[in-house]
Amino acid sequence: MRSTAKLSIKTKIARHFLLNFRPAGVASAIKKIVGIERIPIETDLGRFFVDPVSHVGDLLLSGGDYDPAITRTLKQYLSPGNVFVDIGANEGFFAVIGAKLVGSTGRTIAVEPQERLRPVLEKNFELNEIDNVELFTCAISDQNGTNVIHISPDISTGSTGFYRRSKYKVPTQVVETRTLSALFDQANIDRADVLKMDIEGFEYEAIFGSPEIFRDKRVQILALDLHPDYLAMRGQGVEKILQFLAECGYKLDESFGNTIWIAG
């Protein structure tokens, strides 16, 4: 994979010193002081509006892909006319890829609770001339209501979640929560051909908050990012999730290097 972008000397120096600087909150503050801003870059998978001094930006600038295993999964299982649901869309990288694969006759539903990322998502859709993405600014959980998410420093926007990962305080945001069933109802989704879920350890609540979605095979392919450490911190195990999906008739496929569950 390739990527092309013109980086200033200032940005190159900032990337070298700040990407691995800790704590990340201080690195983020320094980045703002020196005036590092998002830039559009070109990759083999599309055009993206990235922060060059961030986890997402670094991966796209250095290799042109954010997560090759998920990219391969989407290319394998999505076809024109399909429905792709992206739970934890972050900056929209996979939503863009999915929208291109399902085409004008398909649908892509992107779910991302961070208000700060909505303009980034919309810019990425604009850069790729995509108009078949429906964006929901909410979080998927086991109940409809509200909750508080902890906003990670912008070095890694994908680390935001209900559970605070850092030892130091970070900003918070009150977000609307919906069950997966409520999302399917609101978005008028009968069946998702592929559902990607990466929600920082709250996959337990998302799955067991709407068990009927999986019992009824309304998700054909589940690309599930599991976070065993976060689950264990709250007394929840990966094993129960795996057992439940198996009982629902899903078969595990790890041939792409990630965990894909295929409805039997």
Q: Could you give the angle at the alpha carbon of 89 between the alpha carbons of 213 and 48, nearest 5°? A: 150
Residue with tokens 């399909």: 82
Domains along the chain? Answer: 1-65 (no CATH), 67-263 (3.40.50.150)
Cβ(1)–Cβ(25) below 8 Å: no
pLDDT tens sequence across 163-220: 777 677 889 999 999 999 999 999 999 999 999 999 988 999 999 999 999 999 999 9
Task: Specify the pLDDT at position 223.
Answer: 97
Q: Which residues contact 88 (CB under 8 A, 6 or more apart)?
A: 111, 112, 158, 196, 197, 198, 199, 200, 225
Please, which residues have CB within 8 angstroms of residue 38's CB and are 6 or more apart in sequence?
Answer: 49, 50, 51, 52, 120
Least confident of 42-51, 158-167, 246-255: 158-167
**H helix runs in 45-196, sequence order:** 55-63, 68-77, 93-102, 118-127, 180-186
Residue 110: pLDDT over 70 = yes
Predicted pLDDT of residue 257: 84
CA quadruple 84, 85, 87, 90: dihedral, nearest 10: 50
- Does 57 have pLDDT greater than 70? yes
Q: For residue 41, give Cα distances in angstroms to 36, 48, 58, 90, 182.
A: 15, 5, 11, 17, 36
Q: What is the pLDDT of residue 238?
A: 87
Tokens of 140: 């998927």
**Two tokens at 246?**
């198996």
Q: How many CB atoms lie within 10 A of CB 33?
A: 8
Question: Cα separations (Å) of 87 from 20, 38, 84, 197?
Answer: 27, 24, 10, 5
Quickly state the pLDDT bin for 1 (edges 50, 70, 90).
Answer: low
Rounded CA-CA distance 95/99 in Å is: 6
Q: How far is CA 58 from CA 48, 53, 77, 109, 250, in A?
A: 12, 7, 27, 26, 35
- Rounded (10°) CA dihedral 130, 52, 194, 119: -50
Q: Rounded distance, CA 185 to CA 215, Å?
A: 16
Contacts of residue 100, defined as CB under 8 A and 6 or more positions apart, other chains included, come to 46, 128, 130
DSSP secondary structure letter of residue 199:
-
Q: Is 48 left (phi over 0), alpha (psi -120 to 50) or beta?
A: beta
Q: What pLDDT is recorded for position 46?
A: 96
Is the separation of the CB atoms in 165 and 152 below 8 Å?
Answer: yes
